[in-house]
Amino acid sequence: MGLFDRIKKAFTATPETPETEKYDAGLEKSRTSFSERLNALFANFRSVDEDFFDDLEEMLIEADVGFQTAVALTDALREEVKLKNAKKPEAVAQVIVEKLVDLYGEAGADEDNSLHYAQGEPTVFLFVGVNGAGKTTTIGKLAHQLQAAGKSVLLAAGDTFRAGAIEQLQEWGRRDGVPVVASAAGADPASVVFDAVKQAKQDQVDVLLVDTAGRLQNKVNLMKELDKIKRVIVRELPNAPQEVLLVLDATTGQNALSQAKQFKQTTDISGIVLTKLDGTGKGGIVLAIRNELHVPVKLAGLGEGMDDLQVFDPTKFAYGLFKGLIQTPTDPD
């Protein structure tokens, strides 16, 4: 059973949960944007010919699903439309959504979206990403959630270069009631992280969340800096970091995908945090990340509230993105 059929079965048989409601609300702009693009495509619908598929490919690229995904999907649809003998706009639209969902499901078939924690020693999550993507806010929200779950948390202000970054993390620490290891602006980030790891071990902290600089324009220095930070962590905790999480701003669409490719070249990323999904119509970028980058999305920012940072659920995401476009068994043909 493909993801498309699983979604139909799961969400027609059971009522919405608070989690699915968050995905529903957080992806409203993306869902509306995709629906409008699909409706505009079918407004000029004449027949399912090569011009139609050219327009469809262009529409998918504009919807930020990625060039490779758009081409692969369009090629698959040519065969599927013939196979199902779909001629009416509604039938063709359903085939498009079905193939898009299943392609997304197939790309993530072996994907691990869970966050990994250490046993018997501090867990370390290292956050990387360009300035403005939402690293510090993500750390603050995750710290709040971890504390609410009964875990002790420590923050490390490893972004010592961006103006106000240390103060911003310290403010989150005050709000969350979580200690922050910090130094003066311009200090060596690795030394800050070293002090934080030492404190985490000494205080037997459950989770250490490490902020880092995001100066992607100087990739060589960034790579050296991140490597140095990781070496410092591994020296004290050989099994850490358990996660290296790349934070991407969903509102930047294809730029986020470009950033991800660049960061993947400079450091070993274990997962992606996609922020600000509620503020954009570009949620389709998750499909591009899955199909072109093959790095799992592990956290999704679906709103401004503390609990709107959600552990990524691929099925709930697909439901939120395509709800209303997926015909259920009770829908008329």
Binding residues for GTP: 129-136, 211-215, 275-278
CA–CA dist 47, 68 (Å, integer):
25
Tokens of 235: 């020296």
CA–CA dist 117, 149 (Å, integer):
14
Pair type for strands 180-181 and 153-157:
parallel
Residue type present at position 84 = K
Annotated binding site: 129-136, 211-215, 275-278
Residue type present at position 93 = A
Residue whose C-alpha is closest to residue 159's, from 217, 201, 209? 209
Tokens of 232: 């410092």
Strands (E), 34-163: 123-128, 153-157
Exposure string of 125-156, with b = 16+ CB inside 10 Å and e = fewer, is: bbbbbbeebbbbbbbbbbbbbbbeeeebbbbb
